[in-house]
């Protein structure tokens, strides 16, 4: 049985929360860490001062381990990477790119570095670069995605590397957690389920749209731009997909998505904003606290797998 990431990270349960832009603020992340999982602050496209303030709040609201997710397309990625060293962040995850150039300085600062990857090739590259674990994220996930499903990606990554593999994409309950463990994962990362958490600061319209969503209510925009993003269907996605089909330019398409996530999360505009969510949204039926979510998943999985965590 693979080493659990709860041992690697010094947390109680092998559950981590996705570092979602605009959503994964200190309010959500500290609630997850205090409930025994690993809470993660999502940097997204924010600037270095915003990140510094989030870290300050996080340290004030939990004495448990936590992480920061650096979205590598962030224009201030270099400055933020340095801030994470200065602040001695215990766990650093990355998304939407290759974090190779930061690896040595983060490792030297004592951080556990966990890149989010969507292919076996990048998983192997990250292991060679010194990653402590990887998150293998399937295409069921919300936001920026790769093409392999969680069911196919996780066991292939598990076979390809000897560091722990955390499964992500399509996991929102005890069955998903248990299934991930059967695929050889050492833990799970969940995003969508935590978006609907009581402690999540997303606008109520966003939570309601997520809770109402059914199995096939997500769409992938931006396949033609090389940046596929999974979101719940709305006026914006219909318009975007129409323009994409008609061969609109990259600039035209980017104009539509610029600031669209903030519009949905902060302003509650779920018609023309970007409501990022995974395919498992249809399974998320209620707003629960992070402690309730984690307890439900751990106790359910213990029953299913006849073991304790
Ligand atoms: O990063 C994510 N999910 C995200 S980031 C995000 S914010 C954003 N907003 C607008 C446009 C773009 C991003 C929303 N959701 N997940 C982790 C993840 N990383 N999934 C896939 C990848 C990935 C993809 C390609 C990692 C590396 C990669 O290529 C590596 C290389 O060689 O450059």
- In DSSP notation, 109-164 reads TT-EEEEEESSHHHHHHHHHTT-S-EEEE-TTSSEE--SS-HHHHHHHHHHH-SS-
Q: What is the pLDDT of residues 262-277, one digit of tens each?
A: 999 999 999 999 999 9
User: Which long-range contacts (C-beta less than 8 Å, at least 24 apart) are formed by 89-94?
Assistant: 89/55, 90/9, 90/10, 90/65, 90/66, 91/9, 91/38, 91/40, 91/65, 91/66, 91/67, 92/67, 92/68, 93/16, 93/19, 93/40, 93/67, 93/68, 93/69, 93/135, 94/69, 94/70
Phi, psi of 82, deg, nearest 5:
-70, -40
Tell me if 65 CB under 6 Å of ligand 1: no
Task: Give the residue whose CA is nearest to atom 16 of ligand 1.
Answer: 95
Q: What share of the chain is helix, strand, coil (3-state, %, to 5)?
A: 45, 15, 40
Q: What is the pLDDT of residue 3?
A: 87
Q: Which of 71, 77, 116, 144 to mutate to test the pocket of ligand 1 (most atoms within 8 A of CB)?
A: 144
Instruction: Write the residue with the smallest CA distance to atom 33 of ligand 1.
Output: 97
Q: How far is the CA of 298 from the centre of ligand 1 (A)?
A: 28
Q: What mean pLDDT is predicted for residues 63-90? A: 98
For the chain, percent of residues with pLDDT exceeding 90: 96
Give yes or no for residue 28 having a pLDDT over 80: yes
Tell me the per-residue pLDDT of 167-222, one tens digit each, with 9 for 90 and over: 999 999 999 999 999 999 999 999 999 999 999 999 999 999 999 999 999 999 99
**Which of the listed residues 137, 142, 143 should we mutate to test ligand 1's pocket, taking the one with most ligand atoms within 8 A of CB?**
143
Closest CA to 260 of 247, 273, 251: 273
116 lines ligand 1 (CB under 6 A): yes
Query: Ligand 1 centroid to 299 CA: how many Å?
Result: 32
- Ligand 1 within 6 A of 262 CB? no
Give the confidence band of 257 by pLDDT, cuts at 50, 70, 90.
Answer: confident
Quote the ligand 1 centre to 307 CA distance (angstroms): 34
Q: Ligand 1 centroid to 96 CA: how many Å?
A: 2
Identify the pLDDT of residue 274.
Answer: 97
Q: From residue 104, how far is each of 89, 109, 279 by CA, in Å?
A: 14, 9, 35
Measure 71 CA to ligand 1 centroid, in angstroms.
7
Q: What is the pLDDT of residues 108-166, one digit of tens each?
A: 999 999 999 999 999 999 999 999 999 999 999 999 999 999 999 999 999 999 999 99
Between CA 35 and CA 275 the distance in angstroms is 26
Query: 166 CB less than 6 Å from ligand 1?
Result: no
How buried is 182 (Cβ within 10 angstroms: 0-12 exposed, 13-18 middle, 19+ buried)? exposed
Q: How far is the CA of 308 from the centre of ligand 1 (A)?
A: 33
Q: Which residues on neighbouring strands pair with residue 39, listed in sequence order?
A: 66
The number of beta carbons lying within 10 Å of the beta carbon of residue 95 is 26
Block residue for tokens 């560091």: 163
Residue 1 confidence (pLDDT) above 80: no
Strands 143-144 and 229-232: antiparallel
Average pLDDT of span 73-99: 97
Mean pLDDT of the chain: 97
With a pLDDT cut of 70, the percent of the chain lying above it is 100
- Cβ neighbors of 50 (< 8 A, separation 6 or more) are none
Q: Is the pLDDT at 2 greater than 90, yes or no?
A: no
> Does residue 176 line the site of ligand 1, with CB under 6 A?
no
**Pocket lining: 253 vs ligand 1, CB cutoff 6 Å:** no
């Amino acid at each position: 049985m693979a080493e659990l990431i709860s041992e690697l990270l010094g947390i109680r349960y092998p559950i981590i929360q996705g570092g979602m832009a605009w959503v994964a603020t200190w309010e959500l992340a500290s609630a997850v860490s205090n409930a025994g999982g690993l809470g993660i602050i999502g940097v997204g496209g924010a600037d270095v001062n915003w990140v510094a303030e989030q870290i300050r709040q996080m340290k004030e609201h939990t004495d448990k381990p936590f992480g920061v997710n650096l979205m590598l397309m962030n224009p201030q990625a270099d400055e933020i990477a340095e801030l994470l060293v200065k602040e001695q962040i215990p766990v650093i995850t990355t998304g939407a790119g290759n974090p190779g150039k930061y690896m040595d300085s983060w490792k030297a600062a004592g951080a556990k570095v966990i890149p989010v990857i969507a292919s076996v090739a990048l998983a192997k590259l990250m292991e060679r670069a010194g990653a402590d674990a990887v998150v293998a994220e399937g295409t069921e996930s919300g936001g920026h995605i790769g093409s392999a499903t969680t069911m196919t990606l996780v066991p292939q990554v598990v076979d390809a590397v000897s560091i722990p593999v955390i499964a992500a994409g399509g996991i929102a309950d005890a069955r998903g957690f248990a299934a991930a463990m059967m695929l050889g994962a050492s833990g799970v990362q969940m995003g969508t389920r935590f978006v609907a958490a009581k402690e999540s600061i997303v606008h109520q319209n966003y939570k309601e749209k997520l809770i109402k969503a059914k199995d096939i209510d997500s769409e992938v925009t931006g396949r033609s731009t090389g940046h596929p993003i999974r979101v719940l269907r709305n006026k914006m996605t219909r318009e975007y997909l129409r323009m994409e089909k008609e061969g609109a330019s990259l600039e035209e398409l980017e104009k539509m998505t610029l600031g669209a996530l903030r519009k949905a999360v902060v302003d509650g505009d779920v018609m023309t904003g970007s409501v990022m969510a995974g395919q498992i949204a249809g399974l998320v039926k209620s707003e629960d606290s992070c402690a309730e979510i984690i307890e439900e998943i751990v106790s359910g999985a213990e029953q299913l797998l006849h073991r304790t965590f």
